[in-house]
Amino acid sequence: MISYALYKRKKRGRIHRPGRFQIAALIGFLVFFPLCWAVTPILFGGNNALPEAGPQLSLKKTASGLSNNHIDPGLIRYLNKHESGTTYLFGTTDAPTAAPYIIKTGKAVMAIGGYNGTDPILSPGRLTQLVKKGQIHYFYLPANNRAQQTPIIKWIEKNGRLIPTSMWEDSAVTVKKSRGRGLGSSTTGLLYQLAPENAPDGGAAKQAAR
């Protein structure tokens, strides 16, 4: 638009060489807004799995009241009390969700969907074996789950026992969530217990994956 305006003025013979102030103002205009856009992840945080920048990040933080990959102290307390010496404290969909809990507890957390949650590292049959061997007994499905249509997630929802949120969620997290509900956002994750007696045999697990 600026180039077109200068072209029209030149064609009419009314072109004037811009002064220093005009040049400085133009440069400032061209730099200011991209800079504001670029710093939004620093100001408002973002999703490590799917990085983005822009003013929408401020709305997401206001809506949820939490970063995408927060730690729920209540979940840690519940699992420490009930996991009974398993290899993995719990399983979850992706590495960004698992990493904060690994750092906080020093225990192993399985990210069954790789980094983004969309690249499964095992099959329902293999998970069945791990459950029966007592290596994993809980699975946490975060609210920002991107692996909800994968066979292994369907297997967990079918064979796992859903633990009521009131039994494990930290009260401080509940308060933050309730403040953001007016904007139509939900941050509630789901916790499933994977008991050996509820795990089907290998043939049934393969059938469930189809």
- Bridge partners of 155? none
Question: Do 93 and 141 touch, CB atoms closer than 8 A?
Answer: yes
Question: Do 123 and 190 touch, CB atoms closer than 8 A?
Answer: no
What pLDDT tens digit does each residue of the chain (210 aa) get? 555 555 555 555 555 566 677 777 778 777 777 777 677 777 766 665 566 777 766 665 433 333 445 789 999 999 998 877 789 999 999 888 899 999 999 999 999 888 877 788 888 999 999 999 989 999 999 887 655 678 888 899 999 999 999 899 876 555 444 444 433 334 578 999 998 776 665 444 444 444
Q: Provide the pairing of β-strand 109-111 with 190-193.
A: unpaired
Residue 111: exposure state from Cβ atoms within 10 A (0-12, 13-18, ≥19): buried
